[in-house]
Amino acid sequence: MQPTISGTVLLAFIAYSTWAAFANSDYFARPYISPFYSPCLASICGSARAGSQHVSAPHVGIFGPWWAISPAILVLIFPLGFRLTCYYYRRAYYRAFWQSPPACAVGEPHKRYSGETRFPLILQNFHRYFFYFGLIFNAILTYDAVVSFRSTTDKWGHMGLGTVVLVVNAALLWLYSLSCHSCRHIVGGRLKHFSRHPIRFKFWGVVTKLNSRHMQLAWASLIFVALTDLYVRLVASGTITDPRFF
């Protein structure tokens, strides 16, 4: 992808997600919760604004009522950190924002260059920990997708467009996480002898295949997570009604 295009898309995402994260409203419309606000760690979610009403969004009250601003701030650091230290996004934003380099074989405008050898960029080496946290989030968002098969009255057997959106979102996030370079290393890449670990070798093979699509999955999951938030937001604010399949 061209640095200018990837830069533009990234900026658009940052703008939207910052706004959405601080909005502190319209993130829950039973049974759908926005991925930006899940899990909710603050008790204010118990009375979340949705359109002109207040609804009780699922939450654990680790942060009591004293936490008055958007609860999204509490959790977004993890997916943000995962993407920020991701080997693919690093390439994209180093090229697009840092111009380091602006393009291959094109001179870069910096006098000195120390790569990822110093603070803060040396922290890129912690990518794998964000990957681990990312897995926890994937599990929670998968749970959110599963419970979206319950109706507004908590009865199983519901499916609306929102359900599909949440399921696709969770699937894309799994694919993005599993295609991660750190995952590839952890699953089997670090081994010296594949032949002695046939099962891990198989996993490594699958992850390697996914890994070759890491860039596409990075973009798809990024854009879709924003769209998911947008969809929940539109339903919660009453702008649209969730089409129900059964």
The contact set with another protein (CB under 8 A) reads 87, 90-91, 94-95, 100-101, 104-105, 107-108, 110, 112-117, 121-122, 125-128, 181-182, 184-185, 189-190, 192-195, 201, 211-212
Give the nearest distance from C-beta 177 to another protein in angstroms.
Answer: 15
Give the nearest distance from C-beta 91 to another protein in angstroms.
Answer: 5
Beta carbon nearer to another protein, 112 or 157: 112
Beta carbon nearer to another protein, 156 or 192: 192
What is the Cα–Cα distance from 94 to 42, expressed in whole angstroms?
35
In the DSSP assignment, the letter for residue 150 is: B
Beta carbon nearer to another protein, 56 or 100: 100
Length, in residues, of the chain: 246
What is the Cα–Cα distance from 165 to 108, expressed in whole angstroms?
41
Which parts of 71-177 are beta strand (E)?
Answer: none
Give the nearest distance from C-beta 131 to another protein in angstroms.
Answer: 11
Beta carbon nearer to another protein, 110 or 155: 110
What is the Cα–Cα distance from 226 to 29, expressed in whole angstroms?
16
Do residues 28 and 55 touch, judged by C-beta distance below 8 A?
yes
What is the Cα–Cα distance from 165 to 145, expressed in whole angstroms?
8
Give the nearest distance from C-beta 191 to another protein in angstroms.
Answer: 9
